[in-house]
């Protein structure tokens, strides 16, 4: 069973977790996006343990967390101007860049691919852990593959707890959804996953338009995570467009037969039936992101039959949220 440490001070003692990383063990740690399940990125056997613990398909590569730009540069064969410009501006932070990998990066990390995804985390605990362990840390979200990402330690699945040598509890994650993944090998650069940093802001920094979002229906996919059902609770998620009357929606979807319905809305309305739980979601994308997974985790724990979600507006600042909701609704 995992050792636990709760971090509340400014300079926590991370000797145990850092040593575990160096020894090839797994560590759960907080980041500004979601909780990560980390291992020494230079140790293939350690990296395999991540795939095993999550039940992650071997074809889905991992993000490597680095302490700074210098460490990132050693993991890529080249460092284009775009990488320098973006990392100086957005690191440490929730931006992941994809570049051709150097020979230091084991194939296990990149799922056999020629590129590596790199990010310098903005959370002080994550950053301290990467620094103190002295190696880059490969870390996907600390959930079972396909399921909701954890934004607090209470969300961790027992299988993940059992697989980790250490769990570092830093309280709830501030960002609440994953990083933005940007491919810098394609020309022009392309968003592979919408995330906490808006594509509009990245596009403005590069002087190009990035808002069209991830390429779809490519074979093989440029980012394997793109095509998966993902970020999903166990109970079914049904999406409805904004401003729709809940009663009409339930009628149309023949949902009356369900005994327990949770309805996540951005615009307030009256509960049409007593059995229906109405959850008022924030109408601001940052705040919505912060509470989204926790809300879904809670509803899932109460075993609702269906979660109906009123979609936020189809505008660029809601891209990442709409993406997560869409993939949560795929069955």
Give how many residues touch Mg ion by CB under 5 A. Answer: 2
Euclidean distance between CA atoms 56 and 177, whole angstroms? 19
Shortest separation between residue 211's beta carbon and Mg ion, angstroms: 23
Euclidean distance between CA atoms 126 and 175, whole angstroms? 14
Stretch that binds Mg ion, among 132-140, 191-199, 208-216, 247-255 (CB under 5 A): 132-140
Instruction: Tell me which of 110, 141, 180, 319 binds Mg ion, using CB under 5 A.
Output: 141
* 25 contributes a contact to Mg ion by CB under 5 A: no
Q: Which positions touch ligand AMP (CB under 6 A)?
A: 60-63, 98, 110, 113, 115-117, 140-141, 178, 181, 192-193, 223-225
Shortest separation between residue 296's beta carbon and ligand AMP, angstroms: 15
Question: Closest CB to ligand AMP among 37 and 276?
Answer: 37
Question: Closest CB to ligand AMP among 227 and 253?
Answer: 227
Question: Closest CB to Mg ion among 294 and 310?
Answer: 294
Question: Closest CB to ligand AMP among 12 and 172?
Answer: 172
Burial of 210-224, coded b for 16+ CB within 10 Å and e otherwise, reads beebbeeeeeebbbb
Shortest separation between residue 251's beta carbon and ligand AMP, angstroms: 37
Shortest separation between residue 145's beta carbon and ligand AMP, angstroms: 8
Shortest separation between residue 261's beta carbon and Mg ion, angstroms: 27
Q: Which does residue 61 touch among ligand AMP, Mg ion, none (CB within 5 to 8 A, set by kind)?
A: ligand AMP
Question: Closest CB to ligand AMP among 67 and 177?
Answer: 177
The side-by-side arrangement of strands in the sheet containing 27-29 is: 3-6, 166-169, 27-29, 36-40, 137-138, 63-65, 115-119, 95-100, 180-183, 190-193
Euclidean distance between CA atoms 45 and 28, whole angstroms? 17
Shortest separation between residue 269's beta carbon and ligand AMP, angstroms: 33
Query: Residue 56: which of 95, 113, 94, 109 has the closest Cα?
Result: 109
Q: Which does residue 312 touch among Mg ion, ligand AMP, none (CB within 5 to 8 A, set by kind)?
A: none
Question: Closest CB to ligand AMP among 119 and 290?
Answer: 119
């Amino acid at each position: 069973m995992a050792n636990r440490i709760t971090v509340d001070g400014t300079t926590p003692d991370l000797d145990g977790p850092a040593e575990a990383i160096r020894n090839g063990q797994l560590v759960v740690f907080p980041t500004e996006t979601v909780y990560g399940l980390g291992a020494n990125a230079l140790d293939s056997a350690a990296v395999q343990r991540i795939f095993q613990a999550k039940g992650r398909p071997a074809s889905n590569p991992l993000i490597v967390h680095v302490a700074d730009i210098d460490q990132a540069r050693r993991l890529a064969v080249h460092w284009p101007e775009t990488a320098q410009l973006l990392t100086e501006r957005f690191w440490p932070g929730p931006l992941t860049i994809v570049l051709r990998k150097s020979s230091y990066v084991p194939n296990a990390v990149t799922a056999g691919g020629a590129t590596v995804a790199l990010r310098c985390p903005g959370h002080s605990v994550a950053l301290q852990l990467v620094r103190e362990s002295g190696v880059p840390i490969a870390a996907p979200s600390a959930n079972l593959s396909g399921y909701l990402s954890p934004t607090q330690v209470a969300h961790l699945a027992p299988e993940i707890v059992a697989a980790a040598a250490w769990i570092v509890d830093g309280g709830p994650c501030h960002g609440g959804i994953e990083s933005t993944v940007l491919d810098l090998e394609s020309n022009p650069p392309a968003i592979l996953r919408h995330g906490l940093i808006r594509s509009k802001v990245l596009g403005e920094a590069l002087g190009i338009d990035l808002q069209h979002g991830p390429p779809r229906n490519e074979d093989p996919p440029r980012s394997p995570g793109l095509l998966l059902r993902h970020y999903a609770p166990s109970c079914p998620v049904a999406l409805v467009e904004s401003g729709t009357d809940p009663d009409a929606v339930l009628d149309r979807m023949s949902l009356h037969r369900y005994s327990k319905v949770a309805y996540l809305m951005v615009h307030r309305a009256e509960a049409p039936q007593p059995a229906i739980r109405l959850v008022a979601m924030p109408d601001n994308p940052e705040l919505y992101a912060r509470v989204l997974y926790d809300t879904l985790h809670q509803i899932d724990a109460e075993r609702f039959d269906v979660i109906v979600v009123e979609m936020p507006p189809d505008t660029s600042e809601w891209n990442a949220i709409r993406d997560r909701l869409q993939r949560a609704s795929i069955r």
